[in-house]
A and B are shown apart, each in its own frame.
Chain A
């Protein structure tokens, strides 16, 4: 079904005079990039503003255990264990943070060390760990039409959650006390966003890679912060930079025969350095 819908896409792109558009895997990869990079750029604004970078890093790394659970339960697609595990972990981290006592980064660090080690121990039993290295660096060129369809559904759902809670999350990033005084359920906003973030990061892992996906969440928003003077500009720059880095990185990785995720990150890093140099001073 999704293969039929994609036919015009393939036809138009293969008519372009580029070597890379002649391959079906590249056309599918481009479509995946066009969905996932704006999504990461959008979520990144709240990740950067609300200091959730370490949290998203931990969710990505926890995939080791998520994959291991899938292997243990004999699931055909490890996603079926990775996503629920990421969501459970989101609940645990949110709960530990709210209980207080432990500082947020210590709590997240503990959870991350545990899930990474547990996952590596489980996956390396019998010396088989090399089978899973694809998850470390990702494989953007393995995208299937079915993946693209899922990605489209996911993008709509996540953006709905994102836009619904955006104002509360933004106010909380400015002043948590002020946000709590204006809205009764700012805790619900944080949990909803963290859950959406966990799902996006986990689903993006097989293509982008555990080691680099967090960079795609942080870099475009960090670069956008250097250019923007208000929230609308911040959002627009972040989405635009993410999209630009995604497309350029994909094409460069084709000609350089390099891993796509890491190549996109390097392009995004280049854009970040450029915006840092152009940065306007915060105070006049």
Chain B
């Protein structure tokens, strides 16, 4: 279990806003699922302060890429995490926001319990210490969700749950923030607010963010870089450029977009 270190607002001692030095590097990454190649020859740099969005059709390997980064499945090639001094960080802190559809709505679990079971040594069934409670509140403050601290998870709306999960992923402040389809099942205004928040946090904490999403229209406004994945990287670059690419337009039937 990773111990929290909440000094990262000043990002490795360097002033916020694009230290530009630390990054996550993927070199020739490939992965197989059930013997079938799902991901091949992926080269990618994720810079701090930058929001990189991975788009692609179902089965294009987006979630597999996330699972490689989290170290959940074996992969070929190399993944390096470099800190601001360009040293290899062997056990980087990765904040992860899962798809909320995977939550059990009826479980007797409060938001605080979720933080406690992620952070504390003391088993959450014996109550939560005031130190962990303060830490959880601080995490939720970052995403404007502190009023949800004692609510049961099942009572949260989709948008509220995503704020809570984002707050958890930022406790402690990670080297890399990974979000997998965070907005499935959240309405339009909820999405806009969430991406606004994400953009603000990325600048504030100088976070490297990797986001997997289908939400092209919103990504076009919020992402710094789009990566179109179809087992390998087909094209990448600024959103406006990638969304003009014929292969992307064909895959997403983008004739409607300007």
| Residues of chain A whose beta carbon lies under 8 Å from any beta carbon of chain B | 42, 45, 49, 162-164, 166-168, 170-171, 173-178, 180-184, 224-225, 228-235, 282-284
Number of B residues contacting the other chain (C-beta, 8 Å)?
40
Flag if A230 contacts B113 (CB, 8 Å).
yes
B178 partner residues in chain A, CB cutoff 8 A: 181
Q: Residue of B at shortest CB range from A227? A: B108
A232 partner residues in chain B, CB cutoff 8 A: 113, 124-128
Flag if B108 contacts A224 (CB, 8 Å).
yes
B150 partner residues in chain A, CB cutoff 8 A: 230
Give the residue of B70, B118, B152, B165 whose beta carbon is less than 8 angstroms from that of A229: B152
Flag if B70 contacts A181 (CB, 8 Å).
yes
A228 and B113 CA atoms in complex are apart in Å by 12
A234 and B178 CA atoms in complex are apart in Å by 31
| Residues of chain B whose beta carbon lies under 8 Å from any beta carbon of chain A | 1-2, 70-72, 94, 96, 98, 102-110, 112-114, 116-118, 120-121, 123-128, 150, 152-155, 165, 168, 178, 180
CB distance from A50 to the nearest CB of B (A): 10
Flag if B103 contacts A230 (CB, 8 Å).
no
Flag if B110 contacts A231 (CB, 8 Å).
yes
Q: Residue of B at shortest CB range from A236? A: B125
**Given A174-B104, A174-B114, A282-B106: A166 touches B124 (CB 8 Å cut-off):** yes
A186 and B124 CA atoms in complex are apart in Å by 16
Flag if B118 contacts A182 (CB, 8 Å).
yes
- Interface of A, secondary structure class, is helix
A281 and B123 CA atoms in complex are apart in Å by 26
A164 partner residues in chain B, CB cutoff 8 A: 123
A282 partner residues in chain B, CB cutoff 8 A: 105-106, 152, 154-155
**Given A177-B96, A180-B72, A182-B118: A233 touches B108 (CB 8 Å cut-off):** yes
**Given A231-B117, A234-B125: A170 touches B102 (CB 8 Å cut-off):** no
A163 and B98 CA atoms in complex are apart in Å by 26
A173 and B128 CA atoms in complex are apart in Å by 18
Flag if B105 contacts A174 (CB, 8 Å).
no
Q: Residue of A at shortest CB range from B180? A: A177
A170 and B105 CA atoms in complex are apart in Å by 14
Give 12 CB contacts A-B under 8 Å.
Answer: A49-B107, A167-B124, A168-B117, A174-B104, A178-B118, A178-B168, A180-B72, A182-B118, A224-B108, A231-B116, A234-B109, A284-B155
B168 partner residues in chain A, CB cutoff 8 A: 178
A238 and B2 CA atoms in complex are apart in Å by 30
Give the residue of B1, B110, B152, B155 whose beta carbon is less than 8 angstroms from that of A183: B1
Flag if A180 contacts B70 (CB, 8 Å).
yes
CB distance from A224 to the nearest CB of B (A): 7
Given A167-B1, A178-B96, A232-B125: 10 more A-B contacts, CB < 8 Å: A174-B114, A177-B72, A182-B2, A183-B1, A224-B108, A230-B112, A230-B152, A234-B108, A283-B155, A284-B155
CB distance from B136 to the nearest CB of A (A): 13
Flag if B113 contacts A170 (CB, 8 Å).
yes
A174 and B180 CA atoms in complex are apart in Å by 16
Flag if A283 contacts B2 (CB, 8 Å).
no
User: Which 5 pairs between the two chains have the least Cβ-Cβ distance?
Assistant: A235-B125, A166-B123, A181-B96, A228-B108, A167-B117
A233 partner residues in chain B, CB cutoff 8 A: 108
Max chain A Cβ within 10 angstroms of own Cβ: one of B72, B107, B116, B126: B107
A231 and B152 CA atoms in complex are apart in Å by 10
Flag if B126 contacts A163 (CB, 8 Å).
yes
A71 and B74 CA atoms in complex are apart in Å by 45
